[in-house]
Amino acid sequence: MIRTLFLIALLAVVIASATWLADHPGVVQIEWWGYRITMAVSVLVALVAGVSILAALAYRLWWGLRRVPRFLAARRRESRRRRGTHALTQGILAAAAGDARETQRHADKATALRADPTLTLLLSAQAAQLRGEEEVAAPFFNAMLDKPETAFLGLRGLIGQAMRAGSEDEARGLIEKARDLHPKTPWVATALFDLQTRSGKWEQAEETLKQACRHKTMPDHMFGPWRAILLLEQSRAAQAAGHSVLALSQAERALKQDPDLTAAAVHLADLLCRSGRQRRARNVLQKLWRKAPHPALATAYAATDGGNDPLKRVRRLKKLTALNAGHPESKLALGQAALDAGLWGEARSHLGIIADGRAPSRRVCLMLAELEERGNGNPSRAREWRDEAAQAGPDRAWVCNHCGAAAQTWASLCGQCGAFATLEWRLPGADKSHLAVAATEPLFPAMAVPISPKPL
């Protein structure tokens, strides 16, 4: 629009000038080097205008010709870039399809065309990994460490290699470097936490957990329970090293962080008893028994008096179980204590209440078998209960929510799969694998095809 208006204005100026010159005719005479040229003013104006236009066109042509080599070079560069990008794209597709030969061919082509160096190195590494030649892939990942923009990607590749090779110490060192580069990347915090807990580096794991929760790379609701377990393990380590004061303070902090952690209550009670504070130890166990009775609490409570007298044990447990009298664990604890003390009638009474009207669990069947054998001298009836025990439903156990393995004693790491904080006191069998925490998930699910196309 502006261009059209400008042309109309220019045309108007030209017409006005021509009209003005026609209305004011005149003659111009030029004398130069013995020549005399006479011409009308309008002709002179037309000549000047024509020469100016020709000079402008000549300059334009010269300017254009000067740019031709640069233009041709840019065309060549653009063509090479396009072909490089195409080679990378094809290479990525070949890698995704698991075709090592095609991936390598496109990686070589991309290298020759000097395509994006990050993706070219990564593609070459991927081709080597697809061929199963990890040692060939490593130099490509190492080369990526030299540049700040590719260092993180290179570290990820090397971490994957170290993990697959089972070199956990090397992997931990590399992940710590990756964390320094990108502390807010979720998989870095998760992988580091996983390796630290697996190798029993509880203090470092606690620091990683704090950082991860600060950066929101781990679920907030897991902070308390996980930190409690890490503190409990630090307390156990301090106790093993003979630092009883530190062990006691760590155990107190663990139970404060997660008041429902049975193992922490049992451990704290044990430490308190060792320091002569039996009353406080019993209070700790009683507090948790009110909320969540557990056999380990009963065992720890009975041990607080330090003696092995079975009758004392029964009296002690009666005080504890009175706090949650209706709970089956209270009956079981009293039943077992009565059996150990030879109080057959009392044992029968407690076990009878549990077995009344419902199928007794394996643990109850075995206790009833013991009662028949030792209390009544009836081995055939005891055998029947043992047969029943073989058919009975399972008792509660520490079941791993990651792999489903059941254990009788609690541990911070599953004895089967090594997952952290996945043991739950429940009936085995129910699939709760969806509850498995992120820290135990496969660390590098994306490493098989780690390349994502970058906009070129």
Question: Which positions touch Zn ion (CB under 5 A)?
Answer: 400, 402-403, 405, 414, 416-417, 419
- Spatial CB neighbours of 347, under 8 Å, sequence gap ≥ 6: 335, 338, 339, 367, 371, 375
In the complex, the smallest distance separating the C-beta of residue 422 from Zn ion, rounded to whole angstroms, is: 6
Q: Looking at beta carbons only, is 183 or 418 nearer to Zn ion?
A: 418
Sign for the CA dihedral angle at 12, 15, 18, 23 comes to negative
Closest CA to 140 of 155, 131, 130: 155
Q: Which residues of 153-187 are buried (b: 16+ CB within 10 A; e: fewer)?
A: bbbbbbbbbbbeeeeeeebbebbbebbeeeeebeb
In the complex, the smallest distance separating the C-beta of residue 355 from Zn ion, rounded to whole angstroms, is: 32
Q: Looking at beta carbons only, is 124 or 412 nearer to Zn ion?
A: 412
Q: Looking at beta carbons only, is 120 or 412 nearer to Zn ion?
A: 412
In the complex, the smallest distance separating the C-beta of residue 397 from Zn ion, rounded to whole angstroms, is: 12
Own/partner pairs for 314-320, CB < 8 Å, 24+ apart?
Answer: 314/338, 314/341, 314/343, 314/346, 320/282, 320/285, 320/286, 320/289
In the complex, the smallest distance separating the C-beta of residue 401 from Zn ion, rounded to whole angstroms, is: 8
Q: Looking at beta carbons only, is 237 or 411 nearer to Zn ion?
A: 411
In the complex, the smallest distance separating the C-beta of residue 146 from Zn ion, rounded to whole angstroms, is: 40
Total residue length of the chain: 456
Q: Looking at beta carbons only, is 230 or 419 nearer to Zn ion?
A: 419
Q: Looking at beta carbons only, is 328 or 415 nearer to Zn ion?
A: 415
Q: Is 215 exposed, middle or buried (0-12, 13-18, 19+ CB in 10 A)?
A: middle
In the complex, the smallest distance separating the C-beta of residue 441 from Zn ion, rounded to whole angstroms, is: 12
Determine how many CB atoms are found less than 10 A away from the CB of residue 6: 10
Please list the residues that pair with 398 across neighbouring strands: 407, 425
